[in-house]
């Protein structure tokens, strides 16, 4: 089962994988740039529809959930 929790590292990794700025990521998700910033600083975590949208974007871009976690432990 794929990870459903989007923490700041995973969000930043997805954005990097996509090659997007915070503003571009916000536009793609239909949210404010400030919201992306708050997620990436750990002030807030995505909820509800945002979690679903992040998952869809990740799947479409073939972003591998947890790939950065595996590399940290090796």
Q: pLDDT per residue over 5-55, tens digit each? A: 899 999 999 999 999 999 999 999 999 999 999 999 999 999 999 999 999
- Asked if residues 18 and 57 have their Cβ atoms less than 8 Å apart, the reply is yes
The CA distance from 39 to 36, in Å, is: 5
- Asked if residues 37 and 22 have their Cβ atoms less than 8 Å apart, the reply is yes
Select the more confidently predicted residue: 20 or 70. 20
Other Cβ atoms closer than 10 A to 37: 15
Give 62's pLDDT tier (boundaries 50, 70, 90).
Answer: very high
Q: What share of the chain is helix, strand, coil (3-state, %, to 5)?
A: 60, 0, 40
pTM: 0.80
């Amino acid at each position: 089962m794929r990870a459903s929790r989007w923490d700041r590292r995973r969000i930043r990794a997805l954005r990097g994988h996509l090659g997007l700025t915070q503003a571009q990521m916000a536009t793609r998700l239909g949210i404010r740039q400030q919201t992306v910033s708050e997620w990436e600083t750990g002030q807030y975590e995505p909820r509800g529809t945002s979690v679903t949208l992040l998952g869809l974007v990740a799947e479409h871009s073939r972003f591998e959930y947890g790939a950065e976690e595996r590399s940290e432990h090796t």
